[in-house]
Amino acid sequence: MTTESATDGARPLVSLERGEIDRRIFSDPDIFEEEMRHIFGRSWLFLCHGSQIPKRGDFFEAPMGRDNVLVVRQRDGGIKALLNTCAHRGNAVCRAEEGNAKNFMCTYHGWTYDIAGKLVGVPGLDELYHNDLDVSANGLREVAQLEVYKGFVFATLDPQAPPLLEFLGRTGITGLEFLAGQGELEVVPGIQKFVIPCNWKFAVDNIFDWYHPQITHLSAFQTGLAGSADVRGTKMKTAGVAGPDGSEIQLPGGVASGAASDQMVFIDAFGHAISGPTVEALGDSGGRIDHSWRDSPEARGNLGPMARRSAGHASIFPTCWITLLSNQISLRVPRGPMETEIWWFTFVPKQAPPERKTAIAQGAIHSFGPAGFLEQEDGENWAQSTLQTRGNASAKIPQLLQMNLRRGKVVHDSDGLDPPYIECSINEHGQLWTFASWVHWLSGCGWPELRERTAPPDVI
């Protein structure tokens, strides 16, 4: 189904002008197939961090749409990403999610590949194949392009895709710098993975949603286990939400402050966005968040003044979320129209004292992942929202993204390091920008046209 044929008469799938979304995009199987082809088959995707595979033969399996790739440290210290599918009959050549290997032997008929993907063993090559098999042409296939930005490994299956830095733009780079700026990083062992019965785009939409915590996460903040209100909170007041002792409780991104610019949004080509509070509004979560790197000479060289003020949630289109609240990267991995696997990578500065590393890891576990208070609460909403796109009558109701609509004035810092940005209060610009860009990805247009169509407007 093309984007055009997916429209219902005059109704487009996404209206940037009206701030409306056709609900069918959250459960239609044909649209999901188009996403696999036009988005996940082409986009640069985050695979893993170099610190996860430090030694020769270390590997980590990562998803690229429905393809799975083995990200493998090579003999020369480089990194390759190999499709985890045997050239013979397609079986996966590796069943482990991560580890160290000297080679990968397929469990079906025993074809064996070295860590560079070269086919080095074929049972019966002489007697059965009569040496008439082109061994050199039947290694594991590689991704089309792989690049590493400060340890963050990305790849694309599209040889036509622009270089990684061009794809990321200032917004994607800013998001990665929220972590990289802290110095040399390492990933806490054990990537958390679990499934939520929802469409992946609900999980992406929520990255930018600072409107829901006061309701969705009330119980999590009342317990204090997901970070108490004053730990996670901003200086903004919420609208009369009472804590267990009857006192008013502050929650992140509170809505009743009336402050006109306590939030910042960045939008960029290809659908990347950052949205959330400023550093001043968020604070340091009781010392849990280290903002000191923002004034370093390196940060000043890499980021513009507005980017260094942002403590928002960064989304590298389509599914990579960077959150400095818990020092994590999350992937919203689509497994089906109504099924999403959530992955969490937790980062700690390599040189940090053990107690700080432990504090970061504990904060992350209590916030997100299967044991995280926040994500359990979020997941219930996303699952229900997905289900309600299936009703014959419900599916016809447009979904709304109209908060601050057409009031978001985009400032273009064309000479500097800042991405296009908006200063405002809580809004739905980040979500709307994601969906508006998503439509253009789905059209299957070429890269130059995609960049042009997703160039940030002056007002959103």
Which stretches of the chain bind ligand FES, using CB under 6 A? Answer: 86, 88-89, 91, 106, 108-111
Q: In this complex, which beta carbon is closest to ligand FES, that of residue 119 or of residue 432?
A: 119
Q: Which is nearer to ligand FES, 83 or 374 (CB)?
A: 83
From the list ligand FES, Fe ion, none, which binds 111 (C-beta under 5 to 8 Å, kind-based)? ligand FES
Q: What span, in angstroms and rounded, lies between the C-alpha atoms of 294 and 322?
A: 16
| Residue 262 contact partner, candidates Fe ion, ligand FES, none, CB within 5 to 8 A by sort of partner | none
CB closer to ligand FES, 51 vs 85: 85
What is the gyration radius of the CA atoms in the chain, in angstroms?
Answer: 23
Q: Which stretch binds Fe ion (CB under 5 A): 97-105, 145-153, 167-175, 378-386?
A: 378-386
Q: Which stretch binds Fe ion (CB under 5 A): 183-191, 319-327, 375-383, 404-412?
A: 375-383
Give the CA dihedral 46, 208, 458, 408, nearest 10 degrees. -170
Closest distance of CB 110 from ligand FES, Å? 6
CA 173-177-180 angle, to 5 degrees, is: 130
Is there a contact between 401 and 30 (Cβ–Cβ < 8 Å)?
Answer: no
Please, which residues have CB within 8 angstroms of residue 9's CB and are 6 or more apart in sequence?
A: none
* In contact, 279 and 291? CB cutoff 8 Å: yes
Nearer of residues 105 and 359 to ligand FES, judged by Cβ: 105
Smallest distance from the beta carbon of 116 to ligand FES, in angstroms?
Answer: 18
Using CB distances below 5 to 8 A depending on partner kind, what does residue 378 bind out of Fe ion, ligand FES, none? Fe ion
Angle at 306 between CA 300 and CA 309, to 5 degrees: 85
Q: Which is nearer to Fe ion, 268 or 378 (CB)?
A: 378
Q: What does the block give as tokens for 290? A: 């280290």
From the CB of 341, what's the least distance to Fe ion, in Å? 18
* Residue 205 found at the interface with Fe ion (CB under 5 A): no
* Cα separation values, 129 from 113, 122, 124, 132, 292, Å: 18, 9, 6, 6, 63
Nearer to ligand FES, 109 or 350 (CB): 109
Q: For residue 443, how many other CB atoms are within 10 A of its CB?
A: 15
Q: Residue 49 CB, nearest distance to Fe ion (Å)?
A: 24
Query: Alpha-carbon distance 417 to 294, whole Å?
Result: 14
Please state, in angstroms and rounded to a whole number, the distance separating the CA atoms of residues 192 and 330: 9
Nearer to ligand FES, 67 or 268 (CB): 67
Q: Which tokens belong to 11?
A: 């109704």
Structure tokens at 86: 């045997």
88 binds, among ligand FES, Fe ion, none (CB under 5 to 8 A by kind): ligand FES
Q: What is the nearest approach in angstroms of Fe ion to the Cβ of residue 213?
A: 6
Q: Pick the closer one to Fe ion by CB: 79 or 314.
A: 314
Q: How many residues bind Fe ion (CB under 5 A)?
A: 2
Task: Check if the beta carbon of residue 409 is closer than 8 Å to that of residue 459.
Answer: yes
Q: At its nearest, how many Å lie between Fe ion and the CB of residue 88? A: 45
CB under 8 Å to 90, separation ≥6 — which residues?
A: none
Pick the binder of Fe ion from 378, 401, 421, 430 (CB under 5 A).
378
| Residues at the interface with Fe ion (CB under 5 A) | 374, 378
